Structure 1
Amino acid sequence: MVSAFQSLRIHPDAGDPELAQQQSRFNTLVEDVAQWRAALAEWKERIERYHQSVEPVRRELHAAWREWVFALDHASLQPGLSRAEREQLDEMVRETAAALLQWDDDAGIAAVLARHAEEPSPAPSKQETAAEALLEDLVQDWEQQAAAAAAQREARAAQRRAASVQKRRQQEEQAVSQSLRDVYRRLASALHPDREPDAQQRARKTALMQQANQAYADENLLALLELQLQAEQIDAAHLASVDRRRLQHYVTVLQEQLADLQAETQRLESEFRAATGLAAGRGLQPRKADRMITSEANRLRGELQQLRLQTRALADEGELTAWLRAVRQKG
């Protein structure tokens, strides 16, 4: 709603530099909140597209890896294999099955893994076990004592900090809540549908009132101000007449909303980076994610096709031994 944001812009008061600074800050925050809301919407759209485009292929690939484990298990039973080849297959089964079990508690895969488990190491002697237990107890006692002392120091420091800021924080929160409440009450008074005789206007005000209720529940000042614009309660002149104290409360609310929008947008970007294997960071533009989503889906399809071909090849003893030899040579 670009026109609405433009209408929320205050022309700074040249006669009052301090107020003008607050008004400029308000203008900047309104623009920033609008931009980050748009960015958040774009990232939500990309995340949804990623799930629709990539996740189905990923599920197919997971199922194919599961079939791969069973195929390796079956291949290891072929009578013509050497001991080294069986051990090679055992290692492949253990590696792939363990990876699958990290994602899913699969009883079938767990059973295959158990059949290909390595020989257990010799159990330690009673003397070794007792010595290790004693050392572990000593270390644990020391760590607990150190942690308790650190926790006590931190608790005392936290209490001192809390005592010094609690009162001020309560006052600020009360003032901010009052600003939101005042805007909401004025809006509710103007939009109350029971006071509107015209049926069409009553329906319009009912819809706006529902939006106002949601915006107030979300503590979304900007949405409330936008609704006031739609209800024709405020304009630039109205905002310019707001006193310094109330304007500062508006600024505080918008700062909090901006921080929330930035944090959620960055969380979605981090989620996308992790899903696609990108390094952690910030600043990835949502439009660039489109190409990456397509590329990731194509990459997974290629991996799926190759895995299915390899799985079919395991059924042929000649192809199996040739493939195992090639793997050993590469290793």
Structure 2
Amino acid sequence: MSKKVSLLPSAEALSPQHKKLNKLIEQIEQQKQDLTLWQNAKSEIQSYIQLKLVPIYRDLHAVYYRQLAQLWLHLQQEDFAKADLAQLDEKLTKLAKQLKKSNYLNTAELEKVAEVDSFYQQHHAHRQKPNKKAKSAQAEQRKAERHVDIEQEAAEEHESYEAWDSEQYQREKEEHQRKRLEQKREQAEKLAEQSLKTVYLKITAMIHPDREPDESKKAEKTELLQVVNQAHEAQDLFYLLKLQLQLETNKGKSPKALTDEHLKFYKMALEAQSQRLTSQIDDITDSFHWSEKPKPKNMQVKDVYKVIDGDVSVLKEQVKWEKERLKYMEKVKGLEVLLAQNVL
């Protein structure tokens, strides 16, 4: 809000619940400042990404596509040894997977990528079926040759079941915890809506200008009431609750208007707001994080530029190497060199 409200240092007037609430309020205030900083920086960072990263990714995908088209052509026209075919299949599968959702290829190029990708999906599915039968036959043969003990098999099956059961339990536990957390957040948001009106009415009763005989204080309260009305319209429980605690502390007495039960429920509502702010910040920082490395903890705006610059440096080297590799792929003899050195 436009009017700054600061907490008084006289913490002795506050109960333990109030102190916890004040700490949460300070945390939210910092999160709001951080979110504003990220929102203000978002446009500039996106422009920087468009300027630095997008052209390199466009170049990289163009080189990848030329590699795919060239290898696919060689595969149709030339005969290769079984080991070399395996390398070619692996490389083409990887290129098709990388390019099938590319934003940098035209329609004809994407159709070619889809053709290659579809071929290898069918090829992989076809190879899987006989492999399963072969593995099953080999397993049966080993059992016959080694006279596997039935009890040992039962024990192994039991261990396998226990492992599955443990994983299943863990998944169900995590899902249950997720649902409980979601329910708590929904409850907190409902409580926030209910408490917004209560806090607003208490504040307006305490600062109403018509009840103030002192003209200078009346003008101050009139200005504050305007800010309070803005906060109410914006459903900013954070600001209103902080102001209520400030006003009650200004009276020099322990705020009895808020019971411990009320404080717990306000705390839950503010925790939900804090979580929403965290999610909003994460959404922005995640959209800027292109690197394969983990996102830095407590990421700052300056960190984004460092990550982008680092990615640019790495990608430039990669584009350079991929272009060099493409030169070898364009001729059969060059391709044979790559295959022989296993650097396709």
Q: How does 1:1-331 map to 2 (within 5 A)?
A: 4-6=4-6, 8-9=7-8, 11-13=10-12, 19-44=14-39, 50-54=45-49, 59-60=54-55, 63-76=58-71, 77=73, 83-84=80-81, 87=85, 88-101=87-100, 106-114=110-118, 118=123, 120-121=126-127, 178-185=194-201, 209-215=229-235, 220-225=236-241, 234=247, 236-238=249-251, 242-243=255-256, 245-246=258-259, 249-250=262-263, 252-258=265-271, 260-262=273-275, 263-264=278-279, 267-268=282-283, 271=286, 275-279=290-294, 282-300=297-315, 302-303=316-317, 305-306=319-320, 309-310=323-324, 313=327, 317=331, 321-322=333-334, 325-326=337-338, 328-329=340-341, 331=343
Asked if structure 1 preserves the Cα contact closer than 8 Å seen for 2:289 and 2:304, the reply is no
Asked if structure 1 preserves the Cα contact closer than 8 Å seen for 2:35 and 2:280, the reply is yes
Q: Give unmatched runs, 5+ long, in structure 1.
A: 129-141, 192-201
CA distance, structure 1, for counterparts of residue 330 and residue 265 of structure 2: 70
- What is the aligned partner in structure 1 of residue 158 from structure 2? none
Provide the aligned C-alpha RMSD in A. 5.8
> Against the structure 1 CA distance between its residues 89 and 55, is the aligned structure 2 distance closer, same or farther, given a 3 Å change threshold?
farther
Asked if structure 1 preserves the Cα contact closer than 8 Å seen for 2:64 and 2:95, the reply is yes
- What is the aligned partner in structure 1 of residue 139 from structure 2? none
Superposition TM-score, scaled by structure 1 size: 0.56
> Against the structure 1 CA distance between its residues 280 and 293, is the aligned structure 2 distance closer, same or farther, given a 3 Å change threshold?
closer
Asked if structure 1 preserves the Cα contact closer than 8 Å seen for 2:97 and 2:117, the reply is yes
Asked if structure 1 preserves the Cα contact closer than 8 Å seen for 2:17 and 2:260, the reply is yes
Offset at residue 292 of structure 1 (A): 2.0
1:2-48 C-alpha deviation (Å, 9 max, x unpaired): 98242x4362345xxxx543443343232222122223344555666
CA distance, structure 2, for counterparts of residue 222 and residue 71 of structure 1: 56
Partner SS for 1:276 = coil
Partner SS for 2:258 = helix
Equivalences, count: 284
Offset at residue 272 of structure 1 (A): 6.2
Superposition TM-score, scaled by structure 2 size: 0.54
- What is the aligned partner in structure 2 of residue 197 from structure 1? none
CA distance, structure 1, for counterparts of residue 230 and residue 258 of structure 2: 29
> Against the structure 1 CA distance between its residues 275 and 173, is the aligned structure 2 distance closer, same or farther, given a 3 Å change threshold?
closer
